Amino acid sequence: MFIQFSEYDLLELFESEPISISDTEAGMFIYSKTDIQGLKLVLTVSIYEQECLLSLNHESYSIPIINLTLKDVTQISKNNDKLNFQFENGEKNIDVLFKPNFAFSNLVNI
């Protein structure tokens, strides 16, 4: 199994190319975006391990505001300015909103 996603959708949301960890065939990428308030959202995707790491940081803090490890991710999809994570069991999903500010929804389900 692996995570299904559109590279173009992630490129559109993060507005930059991902950084490849190791070689491209390893399927590990880092996406990041900083908003005008100095909040930085970092998404690390490990396609074949079906794992994503989400981190929300602020330039004035030395530790992240939030760190999430998402396991058993089957799909990452984009809906307007929202990134959706779906999981193997099909019962839960998490949304990350990009506008007007970074926000998370459905965190209660994890």
The residues spanned by each domain of the chain are 7-109
What span, in angstroms and rounded, lies between the C-alpha atoms of 14 and 43? 9
What span, in angstroms and rounded, lies between the C-alpha atoms of 104 and 26? 28
pTM listed for this prediction: 0.91
Interval 8-57: pLDDT, tens: 999 999 999 999 988 777 889 999 999 989 999 999 999 999 999 999 99
In one-letter notation, the amino acid at residue 44 is T
The mean predicted confidence, pLDDT, of the chain is 91
Q: Which segments of 1-110 does DSSP mark as H helices, in order?
A: 7-14
| Nearest-5° Cα angle at 46, 26 to 53 | 150
Q: Which position has the token pair 């007007």?
A: 100
